Amino acid sequence: MSSTVERIILAGFGGQGIHSLGRILAETGMNVGKSVSCITFGNDDLSNCDSNCSVILADNEIASPMVTVPDAVIAMNKDALSKYSYKIKAGGMLMYDSSVIERQQFRDDIRLYEIPANAIAKEIGDVSLAGFVMAGAYARFSKQFTLEDVINALPQMLKEFDESAITLDKAAITRGYNYVAEKKYMFGRYVHSIFKGI
């Protein structure tokens, strides 16, 4: 992904925290001085409805808020994976929820990260925190901001919530970041071979 601009598509079902994920990435971007665009689609509350969000983080002015060729896709269910993974630009990143999507063959020109976001969120106590788990995982790879930047953005984003809710959100973000850090992911075609079972 370019250090100048990142175009991200986040997609899944309502109830998985897709819109919250988009909001925290956008809020964090603004806090660190980026130009930001965030467009949400669908219903983020109904579990049987599609929910997606497009986020752009840039050093310069954003010409268009539409994302057609993303640098990164975060897919929270199989439908989202099927719909958006082929659109990722070469060298880009696919991050998906491995607790709800089975391992399969992927393109060999993108980086792949499987994060059991739903399972981690359940362990914390609320499945809707899956989006924040992914926010932490994404922060591990982002050239735009750090884990600390994401956590610092929470109080402003969630100012209508009490401290206990913010504490859970912080825990989800940190768990996602630490999962990736402990996993020590590799990059490129070798990862693709592992995913194919070679």
pLDDT at residue 63 in the model = 87
Confidence of residue 187 (pLDDT cuts 50, 70, 90): very low
Q: What is the mean pLDDT of the chain?
A: 85
* Of the candidates 141, 119, 139, 146, the residue with the CA atom closest to the CA atom of residue 130: 119
In a domain, 54, yes or no: yes
User: Whole domain around residue 44: which residue ranges?
Assistant: 5-189
Phi, psi of 190 (to 5 degrees): -60, -40
HSE-up of residue 50 (Cα within 13 Å, Cβ side): 12
Q: How many domains does the chain have?
A: 1
What would the pLDDT profile of 73-115 be if each residue is shown by its tens digit?
999 999 999 999 999 999 999 999 999 998 887 888 998 899 9
In a domain, 21, yes or no: yes
What would the pLDDT profile of 120-170 be if each residue is shown by its tens digit?
999 999 988 999 999 999 999 888 899 999 999 988 777 665 677 788 999
Q: How many other CB atoms are found less than 10 A from the CB of residue 156? A: 11
In a domain, 194, yes or no: no
In a domain, 131, yes or no: yes
Instruction: Indicate the pTM of the whole model.
Output: 0.86
What's the CATH code of the domain at 60?
3.40.920.10
Question: 146: which 2 tokens?
Answer: 């750090």
| SS3 of residue 34 by DSSP | coil
In a domain, 196, yes or no: no
Confidence of residue 49 (pLDDT cuts 50, 70, 90): low
In a domain, 77, yes or no: yes
In a domain, 198, yes or no: no
**Cβ contact 16:76 at 8 Å:** yes
